[in-house]
Amino acid sequence: MPADEQALFIKKYLGPAFRKAGVDTKIIIYDHNADKPEYPISILNDPEAKQYINGAAFHLYGGTIDALSKVHDAHPDKQLYFTEQWVGAPGNFKEDIRFHVEQLIIGASRNWSRTVIEWNLAADPQQNPHTDRGGCVGCLGAITIDKDRYTRNPAYYTIAHAAKLVRPGSVRIGSNAPAHLPNVAFITPAGKIVLIVMNAGDVMADFEIGFKKGRLRQSLAPGAIATYSW
């Protein structure tokens, strides 16, 4: 669906129908790769369509994650969502978790996304079930279920680095971002600070976490990820 057709569909049909029926389901546009930020921007530039739209959604099979900020900068009153990224079976734990944490947990959050969703939740050892007419035949679930046994895969640990402590209602707060130490920080509804840090370099990284008058010295091995809370 070209962007102009999606704008037309929303402003003339979907949006008015939702409003008439009292449907409060959010209309989220695009839901595709980060290589075409001009697509959602052009739709949001149409004031007739924009009035019905909550925001735009993205995947990262193309483009770069900072494209989300381009949409935010153009329309800061609208929300952004990261809605899909798959891990290919059989998976490479070291490389998969490094990419997904750096680009999604940290990258999407630092570029205004309200969500990070991994694809998919669970599958059997043959990556089933999926539809006969298509679907992802090689998507490694966050959990592999084999009868009474289960295995936790890269997507599980990717989400766990955030989800265990960054609970619903948490808000991202500012933190500096050295090139070799990508990170993201949040304040939770309970007032706790959560900081997720990754060593993107090839050597051991020594660094300091500073908050108000407190200081904590830490070290991370290459590719290592740590979640801190206080």
Residue range 75-88, pLDDT digits in tens = 999 999 999 999 99
Six-digit token string for 190: 């309970």
Six-digit token string for 75: 């329309």
Asked if residue 191 is part of any domain, the answer here is no
Asked if residue 177 is part of any domain, the answer here is no
Six-digit token string for 23: 């449907």
Pair 164, 229: CB distance under 8 Å = no
Asked if residue 222 is part of any domain, the answer here is no
pLDDT at 118: 95
Domain range for 99 = 3-163
Asked if residue 18 is part of any domain, the answer here is yes
CATH code for the domain in which residue 16 is found: 3.20.20.80
Contacts of 194 (CB under 8 A, 6+ apart): 162, 165, 166, 170, 185, 186, 187, 188, 227, 228, 229
Give the full edge-to-edge strand order of the sheet including 193-198: 171-173, 183-187, 193-198, 225-229
Asked if residue 194 is part of any domain, the answer here is no
Residue range 90-133, pLDDT digits in tens = 999 999 999 999 999 999 999 999 999 999 999 999 999 888 77
Residue range 172-214, pLDDT digits in tens = 999 998 989 999 999 999 999 999 999 999 999 999 999 988 9
Asked if residue 193 is part of any domain, the answer here is no
What does the buried/exposed string (b/e) look like for 127-166 if buried means 16 or more CB atoms within 10 Å of the residue's CB? beeeeeeeebeebbbbebeeeeeeeebbbbbbbebbeebb
Asked if residue 210 is part of any domain, the answer here is no
| Cα–Cα distance, 114 to 109 (Å, whole number) | 7
Asked if residue 179 is part of any domain, the answer here is no
Query: Does residue 8 sit in helix, strand or coil?
Result: helix
| Cα–Cα distance, 87 to 61 (Å, whole number) | 11
Residue with tokens 């976490």: 209
pLDDT surpasses 80 at 134: no
The sign of the torsion formed by the CA atoms of 59, 61, 62, 65 equals positive
Number of separate domains in the chain: 1
Q: What are the Cα distances from residue 183, in Å, to 6, 86, 127, 151, 180?
A: 35, 22, 32, 28, 10
Contacts of 126 (CB under 8 A, 6+ apart): none
Query: Does residue 202 sit in helix, strand or coil?
Result: coil
Residue range 151-178, pLDDT digits in tens = 999 999 999 999 999 999 999 999 998 9
